[in-house]
Amino acid sequence: MQQRTIQNVVEVVGIGLHKAEPIKLRLEPLDEDAGIVFYREDLAISIPLTPAAVIETKMATVIGSQKGFISTIEHFLSAVYAYGIDNMRVVVNGNEMPIMDGSAISFCLLLEEAGIKEQESPKKILRIKEVVEVKEGDKFVRLSPSNQAMFDFKIRFDHPVIGEQSENFAFSTHGFIEEIARARTFGFASDIQYLQSQNLALGASLQNAIGLDEHKVLNPEGLRFDNEFARHKILDAMGDMMVSGYNILGAYASFAGSHKLNYELTTKLLSDSKNYELVAVESLESIAFAKSFA
């Protein structure tokens, strides 16, 4: 399996979640071994995708520096992960990614429109060699060695619509599109009112999130999956793992994980070389991982 970029430049415009301003997103191909590079066109600054670039994880994964930042990158990166893109320039003209419909499906369609281009150098991935775990009370995120990329997420909310939910996802590009990509982010009406009073979440609406009051889902169309909340948490986790810059061969598991814990997990993983090895996909004993991107 070779490294991948996109075939053509593509553009889309969407609303930013927090400022409610139109954000133009443009994707451009990059050469082999260039990685995923974000670019603030309005500030003329590049932000390479690495855990070291993460500056905030409270409400979303944010990368950048004092010179400028880009927020809410995780939904987009989950699609990048799913399509196995290694090298690409991600150009935006504001400080956040467009929220689209609150899921990753629009970004999947954008990558489909761009087309996938195979490059000459072998694709490399992070193979997990040791169990790496981060805990916070009863919450945890964990990566374990596995011959298959797996994502297992459990959540618990004191809300009649959510309660306890779980989803176990054996990664494949096709499976992501069918089972994960359409799962939307969600928020509680009481929280949105507070956030908007703080000049945040100004672009939040029932067109780009699942809204909940104390008893029910507010969206007239209802849920896309019975456990859409847990599926979206897997979507987030895939995007946050992509902050490492690579697809990961291992088993991810979490209870009530967050962007913060995911960031701490990737940082802990990469802090010790005994935890992982960077290997070419073609050198793996199992060819099933390469086939999962077909």
CATH number at residue 231: 3.30.1700.10
Which pLDDT value is given to residue 251? 98
Residues 176 and 281 grouped into a single domain: yes
Residues 24 and 50 grouped into a single domain: yes
How many folded domains does the chain comprise? 2
Residues 154 and 75 grouped into a single domain: no
Residues 107 and 215 grouped into a single domain: no
Which pLDDT value is given to residue 19? 79
Residue 231 half-sphere exposure, CB side, CA atoms within 13 Å?
21
Residue of 18, 75, 232, 259 with catalytic role: 259
Gyration radius from the chain CA atoms: 18
CA 217 to chain centroid:
24
CATH number at residue 40: 3.30.230.20
Q: Report d(CA 48, CA 37) in Å as an integer.
A: 4
Please give the chain's pLDDT, 294 residues, in tens: 999 999 999 999 999 988 789 999 999 999 999 999 999 999 999 999 999 999 999 889 999 999 999 999 999 999 999 999 999 999 999 999 999 999 999 999 999 999 999 999 999 999 999 999 999 999 999 999 999 999 999 999 999 999 999 999 999 999 999 999 999 999 998 888 777 777 777 888 999 999 999 999 999 999 999 999 999 999 999 999 999 999 999 999 999 999 999 999 999 999 999 999 999 998 887 678 889 998
Which pLDDT value is given to residue 242? 98
Residues 35 and 168 grouped into a single domain: no
Residues 65 and 202 grouped into a single domain: no
Task: For residue 174, indicate whether it is catalytic.
Answer: no
- Quote the domain boundaries for residue 53: 2-122
Residues 6+ apart with CB under 8 A from 294: 172, 173, 174
Domain boundary pick from 71, 97, 122: 122
Residues 129 and 115 grouped into a single domain: no
Which pLDDT value is given to residue 190? 84
pTM: 0.96
Which pLDDT value is given to residue 284? 87
Residues 134 and 215 grouped into a single domain: yes
Residues 117 and 133 grouped into a single domain: no
Residues 116 and 140 grouped into a single domain: no
Which pLDDT value is given to residue 144? 98
Dump pLDDT digits (tens) for 209-240. Answer: 999 999 999 999 999 999 999 999 999 999 99
Q: Report d(CA 125, CA 141) in Å as an integer.
A: 20
Residues 118 and 250 grouped into a single domain: no
Which pLDDT value is given to residue 232? 98
Which pLDDT value is given to residue 193? 76
Domain boundary pick from 102, 122, 142: 122
Q: Report d(CA 294, CA 289) in Å as an integer.
A: 10
Domain boundary pick from 97, 122, 147: 122
Residues 73 and 215 grouped into a single domain: no
Does residue 26 contact residue 10 with C-beta atoms inside 8 Å? yes
